[in-house]
Structure 1
Amino acid sequence: MPAHDRSRAYARLVLRITDARTGEPVDAAPARRGLTRVQAHTHGLDPTNLRVLLVADLLVRALELGGTPVWALLTGGRQQAELRAAGAALGVRPFEDGGDAGTGLGEAQVLHVVGEGGAAPDGVRVAVAPVRWEAAGSPDDVDPAALRLALLAQPRDTPLRIGTAALDDAGDTLAHWRRAVAAWARRPSRPIPDRVRADLRTAWEDDLDAAGVLRVLHAVETAPDVADGARFETYAYADRLLGLDLTRDLGSPA
């Protein structure tokens, strides 16, 4: 993206999300930052429903980073307690029971996060493509942080196949990044470069592109003109959205 286009996108600081009902992008937050309801609709416990819940968590984080108050709800008829537990292991923050929502709290915007082709009440519909599990064992048997990264590695509207190799790669990337972040934290602090901050915000404000945020982190890691202290600040800032606990190893022996 040209620098002037990046600057315009960053200046708006408005999360745009594709409404699956129309295929058109809409503002995820109301103009006056009124209360926004994010409601995840699930139908049991499997990798696809876990991805739906994770996308809802990502949406909540992105809205809150932009200063929008959020009411997060989970609606599901089966295995809701098990799904909540699996989500908590992945770092998904608590969602209230959607069955108790009633007529709502007068929210200015309603965003329904659903599986591909899923139905939801009136409001913006955020569709999540299915996950095909090809790894040995079940999702309960793998490192939750590695699974979270693997689920974030592709755009949410892209069907995802998760096998052992993808999980191993995600685990290796996490371990490498956590060691790097801990090392960078020992260097003098530097602000995030404006162009890097713009690239991060442009990615997640453009249809919640977590995969784009990950690409920015990969680029920053080896960018010759970014100081180590700025790399640390960049990764810590991006992790407020990604929820990968990238600063976990701070203070560990070198």
Structure 2
Amino acid sequence: MRIIDARTAEAAPAVPARRAPTRVEAHAPGRDATALRVLLVADLLVRALELDGTPVWAVLTGAEDGARLRKDAAALGIRPFEDGDAAGRGPGTGQGVRVVGEGEGGGLPDVATVAVAPVDPADPSLADPDALRLALLERHHHARVELGAAALDEARDTLARWRRAVADWARHPSRPVPNDVRDRLRAAWEDDLDAPGVLRVLRAVESDPGLADGARFEICAYADRFLGLHLTRDVGTAY
């Protein structure tokens, strides 16, 4: 798995040793949508490392209002992050990765660093947190995100369509995830946490006539382990 290391602006391994205990630090001093995006990208990093068998200790540092940020993060389906300012480096975590906002985080030359671009507006609506999460995932974390009403409406419609489709596909006999699709999904998230690339694979799967519906369901369930969009939420629901 590779990231663009903000220290050098070049591609580098996310961690020196695969499957070794790793500290993932989200450094989010603000209380705005950019701080929330930093936590979201750190969440994606944790998910990708765990999917590769790497044990992770996730911590939050620098937060001005950690309780509020954690509450908003939980609404977006972001896993809990411990208080890294109080906890130190933690037991058995000899390697680490930092996730910071652009221009934030100070200098830690010995730690690989992922930089996250800003979000506008700074205080978006959390009325539909899953739609907000998808709208953030639609853009690579190196690109600025504009969270206007149109972007949130489109994300809401996309989620509703996918969840209906996944609920329907779940009624069909299960089929394994095809190896080539699994490889494309992993290649995307292992290439600098390319969430838009993962979403492109799902859109291709949605309309691929060569796939059985049972395989489509398993593909979406597998991809959602990285995306965290609750795509299987409506399984068993009658539409």
TM class by shorter chain equals over 0.9
Residue aligning to 2:58? 72
Residue segments in structure 2 that go unaligned for 5+ positions in a row? none
Residue aligning to 2:165? 180
Deviations 1:107-149 (A, max 9, x none): 2321010001112433011000001118xxx534430000000
Aligned mates of 2:188, 2:94 — CA distance in 1: 24
- 3-state SS of the aligned residue for 2:237? coil
Residue aligning to 1:3? none
- 3-state SS of the aligned residue for 1:188? coil
Between stretches 26-35 and 211-220, larger displacement belongs to 26-35
Residue aligning to 2:29? 43
Of residues 113, 116, 125 in structure 1, which corresponds to 2:113? 125
- Seen in structure 2, the aligned counterparts of structure 1 residues 24 and 192 have a Cα distance that, compared at 3 Å, is same
Aligned mates of 2:85, 2:53 — CA distance in 1: 26
Residue aligning to 2:176? 191
Aligned mates of 1:77, 1:90 — CA distance in 2: 17
For the pair 1:98 / 2:84, whether they are aligned, the reply is yes
Aligned mates of 1:200, 1:188 — CA distance in 2: 22
> TM-score of the superposition, structure 1-length normalised?
0.90
For the pair 1:205 / 2:190, whether they are aligned, the reply is yes
- 3-state SS of the aligned residue for 1:17? strand
Aligned mates of 2:130, 2:116 — CA distance in 1: 20
Aligned mates of 1:203, 1:77 — CA distance in 2: 30
| Pairing 1:1-254 to 2, within 5 Å after superposition | 15-120=1-106, 121=108, 122-133=110-121, 138-254=123-239
Task: Give the count of matched residue pairs.
Answer: 237
Letter in 2 for 1:96: E
- Seen in structure 2, the aligned counterparts of structure 1 residues 167 and 223 have a Cα distance that, compared at 3 Å, is same
Alpha-carbon contact 2:5-2:12 (below 8 Å) kept: yes
Alpha-carbon contact 1:29-1:68 (below 8 Å) kept: no
Between stretches 221-230 and 25-34, larger displacement belongs to 25-34
Letter in 1 for 2:230: D
- 3-state SS of the aligned residue for 1:139? coil
Deviations 1:49-102 (A, max 9, x none): 110010001100110010000010001241111000000000001100011232
Aligned mates of 2:102, 2:18 — CA distance in 1: 30
- 3-state SS of the aligned residue for 1:87? helix
The runs of 4+ residues in structure 1 deviating greater than 4 Å are: none
Between stretches 109-118 and 98-107, larger displacement belongs to 98-107
Letter in 2 for 1:59: L
Alpha-carbon contact 1:217-1:235 (below 8 Å) kept: yes
- 3-state SS of the aligned residue for 1:59? helix
